[in-house]
Structure 1
Amino acid sequence: MTSLPRARHWLVGAAAIALIAGCSSEPEALPPPDRSAVPSHIDAVASDPAVAPAEPTAIELRSPAGETYLSSPLNPEKLMRVGQRLNPVNELPVWWGESGLPGTDTKETVLVAGHNYSRRVAPFRALRVVQPGDAVLLRTPNGVLRYTVERTTPLPKGSLLSQNELRDHVPGRLILANCDVVDGEPTDNNYLVIAQLDRPAN
């Protein structure tokens, strides 16, 4: 089978987010996600001056005031496609192995995906309360990267297959994705958080 260039390869798989498993209908509806403070496990508050590309190991979401409302390790096994299905093996968010490796000089978009459930808690249920201006911190073995959220959006499942600016690779861009749940019920959307790397001051 002909291999795709790395910069385009992940996009084929990213379109398969439409089939990410985990939008279940189990008993006992959950309360809606909120921005309640949780303990932080990442010390740095700004991007290190130079971070060589490496697989991320942890993620945090913070308000503009610096309050952490999501802090989670990442699954150590990178996410790869199985057929046309993206299926993280557990509730931990996971780096999509065919996207860019996070680093200060990475030229490709980085993608982190996670499960979301209608009636079971998973870290990425918090994506629904992310706001523009929030910070996303990714910890890697080489340092910490800080991104600022530019926008959030539901996206119909499978729509990344069509012409969409999210198909373009943008240096420093980070996309977080889950299976969208609204009012306790799964939808026909994925939910995306689009963030951009903060460039350290010279």
Structure 2
Amino acid sequence: MPAVAAAGLAAALFLAPSNAVPPTGGGPPTGGGSTAVVPSLVPSTAGSPSATAVARKPVPPLAAAPTAVSIAAADLNVRVLPLTPTADDLASESLVPPLTLDAYWLTSYGVPGAGSANTTYIVGHSWDGRDAPFNRLSDESLVGKAVTVTTAKGALKYVVDSVTTHDKNTLKDSDIWNVVPNRVVLISCYTEDPWGKNVVVTASPAP
């Protein structure tokens, strides 16, 4: 994957090679990763009032391109725009998102929701010398906190599994690029070493 870096900003992301992670092939509205949750029936007991009762687990919305991401514990609530790595990005294994406060979804990989086939990667800039939403990802206390990813199909709930740091020049070799359906990975620069390290927040669907 390409790296994310920018002058005056702290956002450098190193991408894994494009052939290391299969594309979703479905395009922004329909591609994606995990397996749908199949409703489970509660066994009925003859003669009991609950004999016809059916308990169903909620089925998450179908996989679709993310349009917003929020983490209340980090006071982060931003829109998500599509970003397709160029041939040069993939060749150099580095990528610089647009210099805004928005988040960017890497369209070459997964989309979130039922039927997803890969990890969803969302990147954004941390800013050096000013407050910015992605600055607040550099916080290990976010583990266990809720993440909401919004798509055109609905809202999806996730829980933060880990907050880790990686050297920018080795992030492309990290296992964060392994294919994990319906996992969400947010990447920015680590605020304590914005030019040398990335912070990576991974999240899995909420139980």
What TM-score comes out, normalization by structure 1 length?
0.68
Matched, 1:108 2:118: yes
Work out the CA distance in 2 between the residues paired with 1:142 and 1:149.
22
Q: Is the 8 A contact 1:155 1:192 kept in 2?
A: yes
1:97 to partner: Cα distance: 0.9
1:122 to partner: Cα distance: 2.5
- Identity of aligned pairs, percent? 27
In structure 1, the residue matched to 2:189 is: 179
Number of residue pairs aligned between Structure 1 and Structure 2: 154
1:121 to partner: Cα distance: 3.0
What TM-score comes out, normalization by structure 2 length?
0.67
Summarize deviations over 1:109-139 as a string: whole Å, max 9, x none.
Answer: 1100001111133321111135110111000
Work out the CA distance in 1 between the residues paired with 2:58 and 2:104.
22
Which one-letter code corresponds to 1:21 in the other structure?
A: A
Give 4+ residue runs of structure 1 displaced > 6 Å after superposition. none
Which one-letter code corresponds to 1:186 in the other structure?
A: P
3-state SS in 1 of match to 2:190: strand
Matched, 1:158 2:164: no
In structure 2, the residue matched to 1:137 is: 148
Q: For structure 2, list consecutive stretches of 5 or more residues without a partner in the other structure.
A: 11-56
Matched, 1:194 2:182: no
Work out the CA distance in 1 between the residues paired with 2:61 and 2:7.
33
Work out the CA distance in 1 between the residues paired with 2:7 and 2:163.
20
Q: Is the 8 A contact 1:113 1:178 kept in 2?
A: yes
In structure 2, the residue matched to 1:81 is: 85
In structure 2, the residue matched to 1:3 is: none
Work out the CA distance in 1 between the residues paired with 2:7 and 2:158.
26
1:105 to partner: Cα distance: 2.4
Q: Is the 8 A contact 2:112 2:183 kept in 1?
A: no
Work out the CA distance in 2 between the residues paired with 1:48 and 1:141.
18
Matched, 1:169 2:179: yes
Work out the CA distance in 2 between the residues paired with 1:21 and 1:137.
27
Q: Is the 8 A contact 2:167 2:196 kept in 1?
A: yes
3-state SS in 1 of match to 2:66: coil
In structure 2, the residue matched to 1:61 is: 71
1:158 to partner: Cα distance: 2.7
Larger gyration radius, structure 1 or structure 2: 2
Work out the CA distance in 2 between the residues paired with 1:22 and 1:192.
20
